[in-house]
Amino acid sequence: MSALSATRPVNQKIRIAALRIAFLIALPFVIFSKSVWMETHWIFEMMEVAGIALIIVAVLGRFWSILYIGSRKNKVVMQDGPYSMVRHPLYLFSTIGVAGFGLMLGSVVLTVVLTGLIFAILSITAAKEEAFLRAEFGDAYGDYAARVPRILPNPALFRTEESVTFNVRTLRVNLQDALVFLALIPLADAFEMIKGYGLIPTFPLY
């Protein structure tokens, strides 16, 4: 990576485009696969409940993270709250939300594939972001990165100040993102109904 590219924040449009492409690739499997557990209702329902719980955790976690980072992204080395346990909590909770969607579909295979794909994209994005942050903040970010994991959290590291200030506009934007995750719940329910009634051709998937 050149010195010039390292001094510029990552273009988030590339990340968004990559996520959209990944979604389009996975879409046929989401639409035309049918969980083998739909006939074993209690297993499917347990997966569905777990999936909803993970999506709610994702939404609340993203709000929690935004309360700390607000409009200060790329301006400070945030090390409190969720950022004390993991360097990219927004990416962590986004991955959790996708895992929840996979579970709501009742497929272990889809859960693993979707979660792995999103995790890979966000991990690559995080690595590129950190090139800028290391160039911008030097040892301050290097010491932070050496102590705190990138995406998989270490709860034992948690720390926080007694009060936190937040940016209302940034929180409002995150609300729109949260609605996207919440929309996964009725979307998964709609797929379940369509497949349950046999309205589209499907193939079984574990």
Window from 36-40, 142-146, 148-152, 188-192 with minimum mean pLDDT: 36-40
Domain membership of residue 3 (yes or no) is: no
Domain membership of residue 4 (yes or no) is: no
Number of domains in the chain: 1
Q: How far apart are CA 133 and CA 76, in angstroms?
A: 9
Instruction: Give mean pLDDT, residues 51-59.
Output: 96
- 3-13: per-residue pLDDT in tens? 444 567 777 88
The residue segments making up the domain with residue 53 are: 12-205
Long-range interactions of 152-161: CB distance < 8 A, separation 24+: 152/86, 152/92, 153/82, 153/85, 153/86, 153/89, 153/92, 154/85, 154/86, 155/85, 157/84, 157/85, 158/81, 158/84, 158/85, 159/79, 159/80, 159/84, 160/80, 160/81, 160/84, 161/80
Distance of CA 108 to the CA centre of its chain: 18
Domain membership of residue 172 (yes or no) is: yes
- 30-53: per-residue pLDDT in tens? 999 999 888 888 899 999 999 999
**Has residue 174 got a pLDDT over 70?**
yes
Domain membership of residue 102 (yes or no) is: yes
Domain membership of residue 5 (yes or no) is: no
E strand or H helix that includes residue 24:
helix 12-32
Structure tokens at 67: 């309360």
| Residues 82, 90 contacting (CB under 8 angstroms) | no
The three-class DSSP label of residue 181 is helix
Domain membership of residue 2 (yes or no) is: no
What band does 96 get if pLDDT is binned at 50, 70 and 90?
very high
What band does 78 get if pLDDT is binned at 50, 70 and 90?
very high
Structure tokens at 171: 């929180």
What is the reported pTM?
A: 0.90
Domain membership of residue 7 (yes or no) is: no
Instruction: Give mean pLDDT, residues 20-36.
Output: 91
Domain membership of residue 92 (yes or no) is: yes
